[in-house]
Chain A
Amino acid sequence: MKILVCISQVPDTTTKIAFSDNNTHFNTQGVTFIINPYDEWYALVRALELKESGVATAVHLVTVGKADTEPVIRKALALGGEEAIRIDADSSDTYMVAAQIAEYARTEKYDLVLCGKESIDYNNGAVGAMLAQLLDVNYIGFATKIDVAGTEVTVNREIEGGEETNVCSLPLVISCQKGVAEARIPNMRGIMAARTKPLKVVPAAAISALTTVVSYELPPAKTGVKMIDAENMDELVSLLHSNAKVI
């Protein structure tokens, strides 16, 4: 069984968000990029566990992005996986990203594609579902547990207000979140090995983006907190009723 793990690079969670060119571009100056946490902690680690337990035969990593994403995909390779593929395309539109990955995945015939539940920069939570549609396979979103026996996959997934267990056969696309695996820390051996692992650069397929960001905005600053005396909860309730109008 061959697994493809979708890896996206995102700004570190503590990044101060700023925009340039008249608020049309995200200002990457001084920004540290990391592997999207859901992709790293859950999708990638679970794929590696399946390889280590002999269920999977190969784990490949794919990212859609320009050359500046290579340090992040190398970091992912330091955790494990035999090879990484970078599809040399812009990653600003979810359809574009999914369609680029689908083009590649189709030729390589992966049995299982794992991605994160969402990328923490654009928070779309869309690429996995799109990918499943484009590959014409089933999609299971928001997995919290994944087990594979032969070609049968058992997945626990989040539903509204609970969880359900699904059973399905391969091929399949699954988006991963908390519960699927425990985050790992790369060791020195992995970091050294990653340097010599193949990082294949694939030219972008002729696919155009279907959305463009016209402008960005920062939320208006909070006007300041109104402090209320801990003895006077009647005042808080009355403000929540008459000023905030929430109760």
Chain B
Amino acid sequence: MSVIVLAEHAQGIFKKKTFEALQYAAKIAKDLGTTVTAIAAGNVADSEMQGLGAYGAQKVLHIADARLNDFNARAYTKAIISAVQKESAKVIVGLHDVPGKSVIPQVAAGLKAGLVSGAIAYPDTSNGFVVRTSVFSGKAFANVSITSDIKVITVMPNTYPVVKGEGSATVEQFQVAFDDRDFSIQVKAVNKVTGTVPLSEAELVVSGGRGMKGPENWYVLEDLAKELGASLACSRPVADAHWRPHYEHVGQTGGTIRPNLYIAVGISGAIQHLAGVNGSKTIVVINKDPEAPFFKAADYGVIGDAMEVVPRLTAAVKKFKENN
């Protein structure tokens, strides 16, 4: 019996959200009186894997198959299912992100295990196994009981702050019997923006809407984001007008994010936009219209013209950093 976690990594380096998933799993393991086993696929250094011990993993099952260096939903699913069987695991934890959503539901279906997607709190194991998740695009929460023997959860990234502890995990090589069909999807081209934190992982986000007037004005948001170390996002009309790339579009039809800080500039705050960002811990709204609906969902509001207020905010951040 153990709690199994898919430890996502990029080119052999584990992501911050992987630590969060491990920490989440470690809490469950503690409640259930068991331990956490992480699964790492492809080329990863032993020291990297041992380091997962500091976030709650006792053991890492390493599938060193080079074919797994690239993400592969079918093969990863098979690997996790084999690990679950080997360990007689009762709980499986993954992330509610693009790779996680392609693999973890497949694991759940393959094991005939109940799934809660996008958990935003630790499970309550005092009476059954109840997991809290956000529903109706952030407009409500549901407490969902998993009634099957094996329980599967995807955790919403950035739900809990990651706390590094002590310890080192043991690494064990793990063989999985793959067949050719597990590698039948060919990756022809990869088009990745490098250098910035993916939006789903960003703790600080600066976002612009139609009130920015045009792509030529985005430099004020870029300057602020740079000063803060934040990622950039935008409203849908902005992406539709090709002012910004579509992967920056957040909201009901775009990405869902839960940063610690979301700064919305020139965005009116339509319900479909809020759906993607209302899980943010702190929301700052900068808008020239005092009646903009976004102010109702904000923690801090500034009424003013984006082109004047944002550079002033950037300067204030700069000054603050110099003095602290």
Contacts from A to B (Cβ < 8 Å): 11, 13-15, 17, 19, 37-38, 93-95, 98-99, 120-134, 138-142, 144, 154, 158-169, 177-179, 209-219, 222, 225-231, 233-234, 236-241, 244, 246-247
Contacts and interface: CB of A to CB of B under 8 A. Distances in A.
Q: Per DSSP, are chain B's interface residues mostly helix, strand or loop, or mixed?
A: mixed
Interface in B1-39: 10
Contacts of B308: 230
8 A-B pairs with least C-beta separation: A210-B114, A230-B304, A162-B192, A126-B105, A130-B109, A233-B316, A129-B105, A133-B106
Contacts of A122: 117, 135, 142
B184 A160 contact: no
15 contacts: A13-B275, A95-B115, A129-B105, A130-B105, A138-B73, A141-B101, A162-B191, A165-B188, A168-B186, A178-B246, A211-B114, A214-B144, A214-B145, A219-B140, A230-B302
B145 to A, nearest CB: 5
Contacts, number: 273
Contact of B320 (A144, A210, A237): A237
B300 A166 contact: no
Given A237-B317, A246-B261, A126 B101 contact: yes
A241 to B, nearest CB: 7
B208 interface: no
Q: Per DSSP, are chain A's interface residues mostly helix, strand or loop, or mixed?
A: mixed
Given A228-B301, A241-B320, A17 B136 contact: yes
B106 A94 contact: no
Interface in B173-231: 184-194, 196, 198-200, 203-204, 228
A225 B296 contact: yes
Contacts of B304: 230
A94 B198 contact: no
B147 A212 contact: yes
A214 B138 CA distance: 18
Contacts of B284: 236, 240
